[in-house]
Structure formats: C-alpha cells, structure tokens
Amino acid sequence: MKNYGVFILLFILLISACKKEEAIEEVEDDVVLSSNFLIDNSSQWTVRSERQLGAPHPFDDYYFIDTVVYYFGGDTSFSKITVYDFDSISDYPSTNIFYKLNYLKKEYSWCLTYEDPFSSPGTLNTTTGTACFIRQDTVHKRVYIARSEKTLFPMLNDEQEYVLYDFNLNVNDTLPYNAWNGAIASKFTVDSLEQIVINGKELKLYKVYENNYFKRGTIIEGIGSLANFINSNGQLIHFQNNEIDFYPLSNEY
C-alpha cells in the first residue's frame, strides 16, 4: 500500500473544516449544563481514523478514512449501577441525568484495486446517531459514560455507568476501570501532570501509560483524550466550544 500520510492529513483537515458547521446546526437548544461542569455543553470534537480491510494489496482491499464529529444534544434520566474500578461497584443503582453525545460520521472508502486516493474522491457514507450518554460529577471531578449503541462499546453493560475521565488524579495515580481504554483488564497510570494554557484557559494536561501494553496517551482537562474523546482509538484533530478553538496537530502535546 502506498504511503498516503501527507494526503490523509490534508484531506482530513479539509473535511473537518468544511463539515463542522453542519454538525453545529444539529445541536439542540434544550441542553443546558452548569458552567461548573467539566465538559461544556457547547463542546464539539472532530476525530479521524484510518483503517484497511481485505486481502493485501493489490487484491480487493479497501481503505477507509472516518471523520466523526461528536456534540451534545438533549438529555435523559437513567438508573445505573456505578462501576468505580475493578473491585468497587455500587450496591444499588442511582438515578441521574445524562446528556446525549450525538455523532455525525463521514466515512470515505476506496477500493485500492482500481481507486487511488490521490486522484479519486472515494465513496462517501454518512451516518448519525447517539454515541453514548455522559454524566458529570463536579464534586469528584469525574465524567461518567453509559452505553447507547452496542457496536461502539461492546464490552460495557447496559445496566451500568463507567468512569470515562477522572480529573482529580495526581502523578502515579491509576485511572479506574474505565470506558476510555475499552473497559478491558488493563489500567492507565498518570505518568506526569502539568498546567497548560489554551486560548487563555489554564488546564491540566495528563500524560498516561497503559500498564499492560505500554500504550501512552495524553488527556487534557475539559477536552479529554487527544486520541478520541470517548475511547483511545483515533486522532483528535479539532476541539471547540464557546471558549476554546484547539487543533492538537498544531501543538506539541
């Protein structure tokens, strides 16, 4: 397979710039989150990922570029059992308000046998839906997630909510059993913690590593992972809300 690195970056940035207005128009006005919440209700994440399916080239293999925009819209109440970590689960479910995290996904695909991403626009498939439900605990500075679509979180239980982020951690603390790493039997430990400034806002920046597989990641308070807000797969290429307009690829984080 050809090296499409430069093309991919330019292509994705062009897509996100052209399409983010379309996603903003879909945000519903009934979502009102407190200013004390960790994730602002005006927040919007644009994530891209690449993948290839099929037999090795030049046999009918397919190449995909996915661009997904996540944004809040609407709320609902659930009664969920809270999973804090591997050994700590609440005894009884509690009812809380969750905010819908919707998505707009644009998938471009090429059959590499007869299509060249350098010269062919590819085939576009657009899907929308609710990716998951988000609840925030301002006292403990935690963000919780509850599953919406089983295809996005096959390992999560419908009856439970999971810690997605914990912004109260310090160096050497371990992230609890969480959805961000796929809810698998591995833990992330905080390797370093520093204060950074983005658009005049002072935020915590966490460098974390996965204990079992030596995978590393970066998480920013109020933004989330620089891989993908709701999991560790992909690349965050743009984040924006009423106060921040942030392009991670343009910064050395």
Q: What is the pLDDT of residues 19-69, one digit of tens each?
A: 333 333 333 444 333 333 477 888 999 999 988 876 665 556 888 999 999
Dihedral sign for Cα atoms in the order 134, 69, 21, 196: positive
Residue 70: DSSP 8-state:
E
Greatest alpha-carbon span in the chain: 58
> Is residue 136 pLDDT above 50, yes or no?
yes
Can you give the pLDDT at residue 152?
A: 65
**Beta-bridge mates of residue 209:** 189, 216
Residue with the two structure tokens 């991403």: 117
Give dist(CA 81, CA 52) in Å, integer: 37
Looking from the CA of 135 toward its CB, the CA atoms found within 13 Å total: 23
Contact 67, 106 (CB under 8 A): yes
Give dist(CA 181, CA 47) in Å, integer: 16
Can you give the pLDDT at residue 69?
A: 96
Number of continuous H segments (helices) and E segments (strands) in the chain: 1, 13
The pLDDT-based confidence of 138 (bands split at 50, 70, 90) is: confident
